[in-house]
């Protein structure tokens, strides 16, 4: 038997013992009760793990572990609460807590106490072999669990993800090769981790993440696990397109964890380096099949459907569904809403008519919180920029992305000097066209540029103007 086989078998024995102590129906009832209570409080903790990984730039999952099969005893003195608090103070995005007791000398008690002591989301790092362990993780305070393709079938992974969704938890699905990545994708994984450590013999190959990154579709969060020792390794993972890295031994052995995490952060690419100098392109307000085909041919990154019935570019959900069928793979469909009922926006996201929601009215943080209890799809919050107060509001938004605009479809340019230091990546909108977007890209370096009226003639999308806009953004003139 490989070490992984032994770990999985031991996990089954542990589950059998746990079921004798707390019956499955009881642990499930406890977990569901916790989920209902969190939902009643607004659901802010729901899917906290993946929300943390969605932030712009590299996210860091910092690990608390006492030992490992490959390194033996890592931390003879293991003040786990002190370590977790140090990670939180250092700016960790998430904390991974080993609960496997045999080889890693972990404990459920470590997770329970750490989750109660820190505000950052915690991952239960264990060898999940039974749905009982999912309910157990929720009761212990975990925001996420690890599902390993090597010890689970695709059907089990899909079922376990469904249970996690019901509990408001995230699932980090771990793969080691192309076949396992396909299994994870087909099972509906929203976060895929590629382990650079071979769990059969525990050797490490940091090229594994680089080789397999291209196999993970856009829109699925990608985590590089194991083998991160210094900033050069973070840089390599960042260049490969990782959204997050999981770091264990390097941090556990560091005397000053804050300094070590800061060193690791220095290796991460900034947004401009990661996406290149070219921002992403969003063609908004598309209403006709020929508009979609033009966006496909011009390799847009996003297209927008306007679901506000006061707009001249309004489309119904049924019309958008038909247009979506023509959209090329890889292009994200964004639904533009103005003070829409959250349930209506969530419904269009969940049935797949759109991939993201753009909030263009007076939607509050409470609105966003409510919408997040209904869907975990990305949200863009638009802000009309008139001064620093609006920019501060944008910086503090809990939305996945912000849009800085001159107003709802005004077609006017605002004072760009206000946003020279925006403080976070953003979509730039408002009065853009082929004549001014090149300057905007050169001066402001936005994450994405959004255009609607600037690519129209007599209120209709003009493929020549769309092509000229794309060429200007890409500096192909």
d(CA 437, CA 427): 12
How many Cβ atoms are within 10 Å of 293's Cβ, its own excluded? 14
Is 130 designated active site?
A: no
Instruction: Count, in order, helices (H) and strands (E) of the chain.
Output: 20, 20
Our CA angle for 410, 412, 416, nearest 5°, is 130
DSSP annotation string for 106-123 = --HHHHHHHHHH-SS-EE
d(CA 21, CA 51): 34
- Give the CA distances from residue 326 to residues 140, 294, 329, 353, in Å, rounded to whole numbers and listed in that order: 46, 11, 9, 12
- From 126, 301, 405, 450, active-site residue: 405
Q: State the burial class of residue 279 (Cβ atoms within 10 Å of its Cβ: 0-12, 13-18, 19+).
A: buried
What phi and psi values does residue 323 have, to the nearest 5 degrees?
Answer: -65, -40
> Do the beta carbons of residue 167 and residue 135 sit within 8 Å?
yes
> Do the beta carbons of residue 337 and residue 360 sit within 8 Å?
yes
- From 94, 164, 284, 400, active-site residue: 284
d(CA 199, CA 11): 15
d(CA 381, CA 344): 17
d(CA 411, CA 421): 23
Q: Report the chain's terminal Cα–Cα distance, integer Å.
A: 61
Kind and range of the H or E run holding 335: strand 332-337
Q: Six-digit token pair at 81?
A: 């609460």
Is 284 designated active site?
A: yes
What phi and psi values does residue 65 have, to the nearest 5 degrees?
Answer: -150, 140
How many Cβ atoms are within 10 Å of 432's Cβ, its own excluded? 25
- Please give the DSSP secondary-structure letter assigned to residue 98: E
Q: For residue 195, give the nearest of 301, 63, 12, 291 by alpha carbon.
A: 63
Kind and range of the H or E run holding 382: strand 379-384
How many Cβ atoms are within 10 Å of 183's Cβ, its own excluded? 21
- Please give the DSSP secondary-structure letter assigned to residue 331: P
Report, as residue numbers or ranges, the catalytic residues: 284, 405
């Amino acid at each position: 038997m490989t070490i992984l086989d032994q770990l999985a078998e031991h996990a089954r024995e542990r589950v059998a013992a746990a079921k004798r102590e707390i019956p499955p129906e009881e642990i499930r009832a406890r977990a569901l009760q916790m989920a209902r209570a969190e939902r009643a409080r607004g659901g802010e903790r729901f899917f906290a793990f993946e929300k943390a990984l969605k932030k712009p730039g590299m996210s860091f999952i910092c690990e608390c572990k006492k030992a490992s099969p490959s390194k033996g005893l890592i931390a003879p003195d293991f003040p786990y609460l002190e370590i977790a608090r140090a990670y939180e103070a250092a700016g960790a995005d998430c904390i991974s807590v080993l609960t496997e007791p045999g080889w890693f000398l972990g404990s459920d008690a470590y997770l329970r106490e750490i989750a109660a002591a820190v505000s950052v989301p915690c991952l239960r790092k264990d060898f999940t072999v039974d749905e009982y362990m999912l309910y157990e993780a929720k009761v212990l305070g975990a925001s996420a669990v690890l599902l390993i393709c090597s010890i689970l079938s695709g059907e089990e992974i899909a079922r376990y993800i469904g249970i996690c969704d019901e509990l408001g938890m995230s699932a980090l699905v771990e793969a080691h090769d192309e076949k396992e990545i396909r299994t994870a994708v087909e099972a509906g994984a929203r976060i895929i981790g590629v382990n650079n450590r071979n769990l059969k013999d525990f050797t490490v190959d940091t090229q594994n993440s680089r080789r397999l990154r291209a196999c993970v579709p856009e829109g699925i969060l990608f985590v590089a696990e194991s083998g991160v020792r210094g900033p050069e390794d973070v840089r390599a993972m960042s260049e490969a397109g990782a959204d997050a890295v999981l770091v264990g031994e390097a941090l556990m052995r560091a005397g000053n964890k804050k300094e070590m995490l800061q060193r690791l952060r220095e290796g991460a690419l900034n947004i401009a380096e990661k996406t290149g100098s070219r921002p992403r392109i969003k063609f908004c307000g598309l209403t006709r099949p020929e508009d979609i085909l033009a966006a496909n041919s011009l390799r847009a990154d996003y297209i927008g459907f306007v679901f506000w019935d006061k707009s001249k570019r309004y489309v119904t959900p049924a019309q958008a569904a038909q247009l979506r069928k023509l959209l090329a793979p890889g292009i994200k469909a964004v639904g533009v809403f103005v003070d829409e009922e959250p349930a209506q926006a969530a419904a269009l996201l969940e049935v797949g008519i759109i991939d993201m929601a753009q909030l263009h009215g007076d939607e509050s943080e409470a609105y966003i919180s409510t919408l997040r209890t209904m869907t975990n799809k990305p949200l863009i919050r638009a802000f009309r920029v008139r001064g620093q107060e609006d920019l501060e509001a944008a910086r503090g938004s809990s939305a996945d992305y912000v849009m800085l605009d001159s107003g709802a479809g005004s077609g006017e340019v605002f004072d760009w000097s206000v946003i020279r230091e925006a403080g976070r990546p953003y979509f730039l909108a408002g009065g853009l066209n082929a004549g001014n977007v090149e300057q905007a890209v050169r001066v402001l370096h936005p994450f994405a540029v959004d255009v609607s009226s600037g690519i129209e003639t007599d209120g209709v999308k003009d493929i020549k103007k769309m092509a000229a806009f794309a060429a200007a953004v890409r500096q192909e003139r």
